[in-house]
Amino acid sequence: MLINIDPILSPEILHTLRSMGHGDKLILSDSNFPAYSMNSRVHRLDGVDAARAAKAILSIFPLDSFIESPIQRMEIDGKPNQLNDVHKELIDTTKKVSGDHWKIGSIERNNFYKETKNAYAIITTNETRPFGCFIFTKGTSTKRY
C-alpha cells in the first residue's frame, strides 16, 4: 500500500509516468480512440472518464512550463474553438489539481493522430463523449527533496 497516490493508477501506469522525461508526450484518450493502432505503449484505465483520469495523472505528473500549452485538447471537427463538456471538465480539473496558470491549447483531429504516433504512451479511458482526447507534455518537478 502506498499513500498519496491515487489508487486508480496501476503499477504499470506509474512506471510509465515515472519513465517519461521532460518534453515527452502522454496521450489521454477516450474509448473510441484507436489507441492500439497508434502506439505500442497503451494502458487501459477502465471505469473512469477523462476528467477522473486527468485528476489522478495530474496529481503526480508535472506539466511542461517551457511551452505555451502543455495540455492540448482534440478539436471538434469543423468547430476548432468550441469546447464540449469533456473539454470543460478537463480544464476545470487541471485548474483544481495543477493550478489555474496553465494554458490548454487545441490541435486538429488528424494532427492529433500524427502526434500520437510519436507520443511516449497512451492511457485510454472509458470516456464515451466525442473528442475526449488530450495530449499532456511532461515537465520537470520543481519540488526539492
List Cβ neighbours of 27 (8 Å cut-off, separation of 6 or more).
Answer: 33, 35, 38, 39, 115, 116, 119, 121, 122, 123, 133, 134, 135, 136
- Report, as residue numbers or ranges, the catalytic residues: 22
Place of cell 486508480: 8
Contacts made by residues 1-5, CB under 8 angstroms, sequence distance 24+: 5/59, 5/60
Q: State how far the Cα of 38 lies from the Cα of 44, in Å rounded to an integer.
A: 14
Residue 53 phi, psi (nearest 5): -65, -45
